[in-house]
Structure 1
Amino acid sequence: MKEVYLAGKRIKNRDDFHKEIRESFGFPAYYGGNLDALWDMLTGWIQLPVTLIWEDFFDSRDAMGNAVDPIVNVLKEAEVELDGFTIIFK
């Protein structure tokens, strides 16, 4: 199974997250950098199976506060909805 890593120490806000996930997955230039665009990429663009590993997640959460919650919700929803998508928070 393919593993994709997010460098949590580089994620301090929503823009950082979208930049990091775009680079990690190699999303196309037209990726919109918002939660709807993230959902579209997860459900129709990425190749499954894949495990997304968000390293140093707690550093990101500390920096982002409640702003991380909607992102986590989308990732967890994708894990439930998509056969072959797994998210690990380290």
Structure 2
Amino acid sequence: MEISIDGNSIANEAEFHKILKQELELPHYYGENLDALWDCLTGWVDLPLKVIWLNYKIDQKKLGDFSVRIESFFNDVCININEFEIEYR
């Protein structure tokens, strides 16, 4: 599976989770936080999965510290889930 998310569409942390919930077809009970996203990526989402994050530089500015946490989170996911890949454009 391959999904794209567009930095132009993400205004804040809540919007980030809303978009991922929709794109990955996460369950209605998805907690919309990074711990819940980890749980879904390790047990709900079909793998392999590639996430393409368009306009990531825009999000780095808009999301500030949260963008640092997201990048660290996705780095951990790549290390722990062999069939996960993220590409920042």
Instruction: Give TM class, smaller chain.
Output: over 0.9
- The residue number in structure 1 matching 2:26 is 27
Separation in 1, partners of 2:41, 2:35: 10
Structure 1 outlier segments of 4+, above 6 Å = none
Separation in 2, partners of 1:8, 1:82: 24
How high is the TM-score relative to the length of structure 1?
Answer: 0.92
How high is the TM-score relative to the length of structure 2?
Answer: 0.93
Q: What's the C-alpha RMSD, in Å, of the aligned pairs? A: 0.9
Separation in 2, partners of 1:13, 1:23: 16
Count the aligned residue pairs: 89
Consecutive unaligned residues of structure 2, counting only runs of 5 or more, are none
Separation in 2, partners of 1:83, 1:48: 9
Consecutive unaligned residues of structure 1, counting only runs of 5 or more, are none
Determine what percentage of the aligned residue pairs are the same residue: 34
Instruction: Return the offset for 1:74.
Output: 1.2
Separation in 1, partners of 2:63, 2:42: 25
Superposed CA deviations along residues 37-78 of structure 1, whole A, max 9, x for unmatched, are: 011011111111111111111111111112211111111111
1:13 equivalenced with 2:12 (yes/no): yes
Separation in 2, partners of 1:68, 1:33: 15
- Aligned partners of 1:6 and 1:54 also within 8 Å: yes
